[in-house]
Structure 1
Amino acid sequence: MKQFFKYVFASMVGFILSVLVLFILGLVILGVIISSAEDKSVTISSNSVMRISLDYPVVERTAKNPLDDLDFMGFKGEKNIGLNDILTNLKKAQTDDRIKGIYLDLSSVQSGMATIEEIRNALIDFKKSGKFIMAYSEVYTQGAYYLASVADKIYLNPEGILELKGFSSELMFFKGTLDKLGIEPQIIRVGTYKSAVEPFILDKMSDANREQVTSFMGSMYDHFLDNISKSRRVNRDSLFSIANDMKVRTPKDALSYHLVDGLKYKDEIIAELKSRTDTEKDEDVKAVKIEDYKSNETTDAEDGGGSSRIAVVYASGEIVGGEGSEDNIGSERISRAIRKARTDDKVKALVFRVNSPGGSALASDVIWREVLLTKKQKPVIVSMGDYAASGGYYIACAADSIFVQPNTITGSIGVFGIIPNMKTFFNDKLGITFDGVKTGKYADLGDISRPLTDAEKMIIQKEVNNTYYTFTKHVSEGRKKDQSYIKSIAEGRVWTGSQAIKNGLADRVGNISDAVKSAAKMAKLDKYKVVSYPSLKDPFESIFGTSSDKLQSYITKIQLGDQYIYYKQIKEALQLTGVQARLPYNISIK
């Protein structure tokens, strides 16, 4: 009996302590949320340097994370910043007399090449102020070096690494695994280049896929070399030779080929920063992270006076039906945002920022309809990010004008469907069999426990064909070109932004700021304010609305590291429903 009461007492004490700890933690979180709700400005001293690291994924918009400033019992929040605020802060810093220059502390920049392009162009614009940009790293990846190449001075650690070896893109194929498991992917598609299904039915790239990958990667690489050549004043052909033969194998090689301006240790970098900012040797360099930078100044685009507005609707991630989340494009959520901007009399034009590899064809059509309706009432300009392909292009094609970066991935106008036949897997591998009844000939259409019949394949193929016809028709109407021409450049083929301008799928090179200016011009606005849709989640919802699935995904990502992308690709393939309009695969340029 004593043991019984002992365990009961211990359990009660443990429960009470747990509740107490959670209560205290809740108070801490609540305090952080309340304090973060206040508009805090970081104090910036004169002769300061803005430090840019970008050692985290750069998303389209800065998320509202109330735990950024949390420092409790060893747990410390990390501040991230979205592309929108990076560009805004760089613009403000140009005219901020307190900021003397920028220090790029780069190694690996976790974003697509089009995002890097926008930041790079903003840095080039910053240099017009006459202020310095200095870059330093122990290891420069190709993306990091591309960004750093605009700096006045580029320094590398004397024992460091600078990667310059050309682009590569490796695809992973699952056919062998599926064969061993006895799973047959039943593919229905339209488009010779629509290669999204290839990893499931082939063990290597098809000739058509190899052709398109070679083409768009070549276009991206040409742009990469041309810009570095211009910034570093190194002959373009020489730069190609340096990379092709991987001539930069030591820091001294990087220096001899004029890719960097010096080999220095961190203390020497700090000394140079002190010299550039007139800082005494015994004082610390006054630095502010771009994540913390605040300014009381505003740009014309942010607060131009008057009541007229330009709405920027952000659509980032895969396209799905329903509400979706801030990590993807829910057709209901984004449609509602576009509709809200359309019916607001103060909103005179809309900029649609698309950064998506596509997804559900049906969800894409739902969003396309709202863009079309809005275009009939006010100007609609599309600004494409790293990706605006397949479904991402579908939702963009109705716009008045489309802005891209030269290295944006776009096009991929094609559709497909996958229904796995897992009969052999269930029967032979697991010993599971199925039996049942049905009241209609096609009542169990799509059942994965058996193969499709020829009649069922014809039904699904017709659905896919109809979706492809609708897709190309929307594009031809939006781009004001014959449908036959659109079909000739469609077939699921992927293009870069530069190629898309040439074949008529896009109009001009420009960033989101250029798109806003174009929208203002079309709406004949001299003064306007920019408003963003859809609204970001409030701090309470960000914390307490986190689902168990999202938490599990986060844990899995930490455990798998760089291999998480393959896990995600397989998981997404197994969850596909309905006809899909998405990129052929996860494109990762190394």
Structure 2
Amino acid sequence: MPLTRGVAYDPRISAVYLQIDNLNCGWAKADEIRRQILNFRKSEIYAPPSAYVHLFGFTVQGTFVRGVYDYLGIEPQVERIGKYKSGGDRLTRKTMSEDHREMLTALLDNIYSNWLDKIVPFLKYRKYSGVRKETVGISSGKEQIAVIRASGTISRVGGKGIIAEEFINNIHRVKASNKFKAAVIRIDSPGGDALASDLMWREIRLLAAKKPIIASMSDVAASGGYYMAMGEEGCAWIII
């Protein structure tokens, strides 16, 4: 990805050769790679006559093990807030609930619609327009936008993923620095510790009171990952 961003603005480079094998990433990352390629592309994409593209449909599915627990005499205990909080359904149900189905259907419809928008006009390239600095009130080239990455499972201290203490320290540095006029929080998280999520959400709100914030959601932004972008005085924009 950094290489693609660099060559797009290097006048010495007139063409790029990409060898694409199996992409081990989610839809959001694949779309981000696509945007960077389009940012470089000047006219056409060439491929041999024997090239082919697999166009498969989209599907979602769930696994529910309540029947196994009943057989073993185990009673699962799951705390749940809200009808769409379906993470524990796989333990407490034998089939998918209507609320869970409604949520997944809406998500699948959105992904499919986005996919059609990208594939159908494939040969009719439209220049991708990125977010300009003026959008968040930045005019000087010396001013910068901070990018705070939040990737992985959320925890309070130690371990891997999003460590609340480290994330909050990054927020404090951005808030205290005069060179950062706005911030992008890149979220790729299934959630995790509830208290840690709440502490980070509070710091994001405090930062948003001083500087514009854009929440950019990658492959996963669920539970605490989604919560980070919420709040009545939170992020000015949410990009999915």
TM-score, normalised by the number of residues in structure 1: 0.35
- What CA RMSD, in Å, does the superposition of the two structures yield over aligned residues? 2.5
Structure 1: runs of 5 or more not aligned = 1-85, 133-151, 234-299, 406-590
Deviation at 1:156, TM superposition (A): 7.0
**Which residue, out of 48, 58, 70, partners 1:179?**
70
1:56-205 mapped onto 2 (5 Å cutoff): 86=1, 88-128=2-42, 130=43, 152-155=45-48, 157=50, 162-205=53-96
- Matching of residue 380 in structure 1 with residue 216 in structure 2: no
Distance across 2 between alignment mates of 1:95 and 1:368 = 36
**Which residue, out of 318, 322, 338, partners 2:153?**
318
Aligned pair in 2 of structure 1 residues 385, 192: CA closer, same or farther (>3 Å)?
same
Aligned pair in 2 of structure 1 residues 116, 183: CA closer, same or farther (>3 Å)?
same
Which residue is 1:404 aligned to? 239
Higher relative contact order (CA 8 A, sep 6+): 1
Identity score, percent: 37
Contact 1:324-1:331 within 8 A present in 2 as well: no
Per-residue displacement from partner, 1:262-289 (whole Å, max 9, x unpaired)? xxxxxxxxxxxxxxxxxxxxxxxxxxxx
Distance across 1 between alignment mates of 2:49 and 2:21 = 10
- Matching of residue 341 in structure 1 with residue 174 in structure 2: yes
Which residue is 1:211 aligned to? 102
Distance across 2 between alignment mates of 1:380 and 1:165 = 36
Give the aligned residue type for 1:314: R
Equivalent position SS for 2:169: helix
Give the aligned residue type for 1:359: G
Which residue is 2:127 aligned to? none
Give the aligned residue type for 1:106: I
1:230-379 mapped onto 2 (5 Å cutoff): 230-232=121-123, 306=142, 308-325=143-160, 328-379=161-212
Deviation at 1:181, TM superposition (A): 3.4
Aligned pair in 2 of structure 1 residues 172, 400: CA closer, same or farther (>3 Å)?
closer
Deviation at 1:216, TM superposition (A): 1.3
Aligned pair in 2 of structure 1 residues 219, 346: CA closer, same or farther (>3 Å)?
closer
Give the aligned residue type for 1:313: I
Distance across 2 between alignment mates of 1:96 and 1:218 = 38
Structure 2: runs of 5 or more not aligned = 125-132, 134-139
Deviation at 1:127, TM superposition (A): 1.4
Aligned pair in 2 of structure 1 residues 154, 404: CA closer, same or farther (>3 Å)?
farther
Which residue is 1:543 aligned to? none
Contact 1:350-1:379 within 8 A present in 2 as well: yes
Which residue is 1:489 aligned to? none
Residue-pair matches, total: 224
Equivalent position SS for 1:153: coil
Distance across 1 between alignment mates of 2:48 and 2:190 = 36
Distance across 2 between alignment mates of 1:162 and 1:351 = 34
Which residue is 2:136 aligned to? none
Aligned pair in 2 of structure 1 residues 95, 312: CA closer, same or farther (>3 Å)?
closer
Deviation at 1:210, TM superposition (A): 1.6
Equivalent position SS for 1:122: helix
Which residue is 1:389 aligned to? 222
Per-residue displacement from partner, 1:148-183 (whole Å, max 9, x unpaired)? xxxx2344757xx74223011222222233334332
Equivalent position SS for 2:30: helix
Distance across 2 between alignment mates of 1:203 and 1:155 = 49
Aligned pair in 2 of structure 1 residues 172, 397: CA closer, same or farther (>3 Å)?
same
Give the aligned residue type for 1:310: I
Deviation at 1:118, TM superposition (A): 1.3
Which residue is 1:220 aligned to? 111
Per-residue displacement from partner, 1:213-256 (whole Å, max 9, x unpaired)? 122102211221231111046xxxxxxxxxxxxxxxxxxxxxxx
Distance across 2 between alignment mates of 1:179 and 1:156 = 56
Distance across 1 between alignment mates of 2:182 and 2:105 = 38
Aligned pair in 2 of structure 1 residues 305, 230: CA closer, same or farther (>3 Å)?
closer
Deviation at 1:357, TM superposition (A): 1.9
Give the aligned residue type for 1:385: S
Distance across 2 between alignment mates of 1:348 and 1:162 = 43
Equivalent position SS for 2:88: helix
Deviation at 1:192, TM superposition (A): 1.8
Q: Which has the larger radius of gyration?
A: 1
Give the aligned residue type for 2:14: K
Distance across 1 between alignment mates of 2:55 and 2:157 = 43
